Amino acid sequence: MLDHRGLIAAASGVIALVCGVLAVSAGSSQGELGLAAGVAGMMAGVFGMWSAMASQEHSLRDAQAEAEIAKARDAVSQAEANLADERRGRAEAEASVATLTSQLADAGSGADRHDATVSIVEPPPSATNAEPAPAPSSHVGSADHPGGTLTDVETGLFSEAYFRVALDARIASARRHLRPVAVALLHVVEGVGSSSVTATDPEGVSSVVRETLRDADTACRLDDGSFALILEDTPENGAVWTVERIRRALATRHPQSTLWAGVACYPAHAFSTEELLEQGQVALVAAREWSQDRIEVATAE
């Protein structure tokens, strides 16, 4: 909207011009002077209107600049909030890892004390004909060591208990930062097609898995002897390619082995830990129906 002062000036100039024209028409001796005054008044009105329009344009530009500055401030505030959330999530993850590491250290020290006790206790002479006592379990996480369920002694990978805790933390972090996370369940066996199907050497499989995964990924061995991978910031195609690299390495080192794998991703296939594991297990069951290497991907419901 134009400034009313410019409109008033223009209207006054037009009125002065009309009065000058009327004076000239009436033959007044001062008609020429009135006409000149009218023209001058009209020019002043036009100049005033132009000034008002220029002022309005400057005001509009200032308003747009202020709006852009406000948007920039909002963007900075949002970036700071995201950074604070990321730092908070990282701190929570580090705290969880520290807690698990402490539990693992406590479990290891407990196992060492148990082994030392067994090594120094000898049966009395009268018990030489008695049945030998069973050897203590070497599996970290046995009933004798309920707190030591974080690693698998045979492979050195994390255990199923750690896998579930870590997966909960990774999904929570992925939900906060809107990033994907993938789970791959692996079953590696030998003798497919024969009457005796046995598991491939766990140490050999774990060695291949370690060499293939990134530092940010997590490899675990589950209680049933299968393997589970947590792939950080990895979508479906990246997870399939990771498992394919493991399959190729196993085919080179263990040519008689067969790999079945089920892949599920957050948030493409599930939104919670239990749903994600269920989808991965369904995909693994589908892969095991084949008599050769097979990687199956979960389907979104």
Contacts of 6 (CB under 8 A, 6+ apart): 45, 48, 49, 50, 51, 52, 53
Q: What fold characterizes domain 149-297?
A: Alpha-Beta Plaits (3.30.70)
| Helix (H) or strand (E) run with residue 204 in it | helix 202-212
Report pLDDT for 134. 37
Determine the pLDDT at residue 221: 97
Q: Determine the pLDDT at residue 97.
A: 65
pTM of the prediction?
Answer: 0.55
Q: Could you tell me the two tokens for 233?
A: 């910031």
Go through 116-137 and write b for each residue having 16 or more CB atoms within 10 A of its CB, e for each that does not.
eeeeeeeeeeeeeeeeeeeeee
Look at residue 50 in the predicted model and tell me its pLDDT. Answer: 75
The pLDDT score that the predictor gives to residue 35 is: 65
**Per-residue pLDDT tens listing for the chain (301 residues):** 555 666 676 677 677 767 767 776 776 566 666 667 667 777 777 777 777 777 777 788 888 888 888 888 888 877 777 767 767 766 676 676 667 666 655 655 544 444 433 333 344 444 334 344 333 333 333 333 344 579 999 999 999 999 999 999 999 999 999 999 999 999 999 999 888 899 999 999 999 999 999 999 999 999 999 999 999 999 999 999 999 999 999 999 999 999 999 999 999 999 999 999 999 999 999 999 999 999 999 997 6
Structure confidence at residue 140 (pLDDT): 35
Cα(202)–Cα(200) distance, integer angstroms = 6
Cα separation of the two ends of the chain: 56
User: Domain boundaries in the chain?
Assistant: 4-78, 149-297
Residue tagged 């400057």 (tokens): 58
Q: Provide the token pair at 79.
A: 């970036």
DSSP 8-state symbol, 125: G
Q: Give pLDDT, residue 144.
A: 38
pLDDT digits (tens, 9 = 90+) for 254-274: 999 999 999 999 999 999 999
The per-residue pLDDT for 223 is 94
Query: Count H helices, E strands: the chain?
Result: 6, 6
Q: Which helix (H) or strand (E) holds 286?
A: helix 273-287
Distances (CA, A) of 236 to 38, 54, 61, 184, 299: 81, 58, 48, 10, 11
